Amino acid sequence: MWGLNPDSWLMIEGPDSIIVPCLTLMAELWKEDPESFEAVSLSLGVTHSGVITKSGEVFTSGSKIDG
């Protein structure tokens, strides 16, 4: 992912904005179990990121401002 990253909106550690594509924290989970952590649905908004995996797990990150 890339873009603004306050409050870890991008699932990337640190508050820095990212101007080139980079791996998210989910990449580490995918390395451990590629089948379970395959993303099947994404929700990417101005202040949040959300992922649903093939195994049905939900991962979210964002500003907490919009719930």
Q: What is the pLDDT of residues 16-53, one digit of tens each?
A: 787 888 888 778 888 888 887 888 998 888 777 888 98
Q: DSSP for 1-66, please give it.
A: --B--GGGTTS-SSS--BSS----THHHHHHH-TTTT-EEEEEE-SSEEEEEETTS-EEEEE-STT
CA angle 14, 20, 23 (to 5 degrees): 60
Residue 67, pLDDT > 60, answer no
Closest CA to 52 of 40, 36, 44: 40
Asked, for residue 12, whether it belongs to a domain, the answer is: yes
Tell me the pLDDT of the chain averaged across its residues: 79
**Over residues 56-63, mean pLDDT:** 84
Asked, for residue 41, whether it belongs to a domain, the answer is: yes
C-alpha–C-alpha distance, residues 29 and 31, integer Å: 5
Asked, for residue 1, whether it belongs to a domain, the answer is: no
Note the pLDDT of residue 7: 65
Q: Which has more confidence, 24 or 58?
A: 58
Asked, for residue 36, whether it belongs to a domain, the answer is: yes
Residue 22 belongs to domain spanning: 6-62
Asked, for residue 67, whether it belongs to a domain, the answer is: no
The pTM is what? 0.68
Number of domains in the chain: 1
